[in-house]
Every structure is written in C-alpha cells, then in structure tokens.
Amino acid sequence: MSDRIQIKGLALHAHHGVLPYEGKVGQSFTLDLTLDIDLSAAVRSDKVADTVSYDQVVAAATEAFKGARYKLIEAAAGKVADAIFAKFPKVRAIEVTIHKPHAPIAATFDDVAVTLIRKRNG
C-alpha cells in the first residue's frame, strides 16, 4: 500500500536553536509532513472516521513543535513524529521535514532542513 497524506509548508514561529538569541527572538520554521496510511476505507466510505483529520494532524504537530524549546531541529522533528504516532494509530509511517531557512550560518543559502522517516513499531 502506498497511500499518503501530505501537509506541506506549515509555517510556525518558535524559539528553537543552540544560540541564546534564537531562544529569545525565535524564528520562522516550515514543516512538511507525509503520513503513510491505508486510505482504502476512506475511499469507499467518504467518511473522516476512516482517515485522519488534517486539522487535528496540524494541531498535534504544532503542539509538539512549539511545546518546548529544542536546541536541535532534529529533536523537534522527533517529538512531532512521536506526537503523530501517539494520536493517530492509523498512521503507519511518517516523514517529518523541518526547514530552518534563517539558520545562523555565515553563508548564503536557501534553506537548511532535517528530515526524519519513522515507521510504527509492530
């Protein structure tokens, strides 16, 4: 099965980062979520109960991402993945990408991002 739900470009302001000023001022981050889920029942029924509610996924991801201050976006991505798995048992795997386009790097670049791919155990 290769069914997926994608949420791209979720823009959030948070205070993640290693440097002290990142914790004070914060910055914009963008999250991309790809959920592997069997959508065959939803295709047949046309009922939200047979899938996951996009707004509830966004709410869970936002709460996990903004619920604590992380030094590393790697840690923040892990918390988002854990929160999605905890709230949505139908999700079999998740890919979380966190973009940090204003990372404090002395170079010209478009984006810095971390992607975690996790599969549900069992």
Active site residues: 100
Is residue 33 within 8 A of residue 95, CB to CB? The reply is yes
Please choose, from the candidates 39, 48, 116, the residue with its C-alpha nearest in 3D space to the C-alpha of residue 85.
116
- Residue 35 phi/psi, 5-degree rounding, is -105, 125
Is residue 7 classed as helix, strand or coil in its secondary structure?
Answer: strand
Is residue 66 within 8 A of residue 46, CB to CB? The reply is no
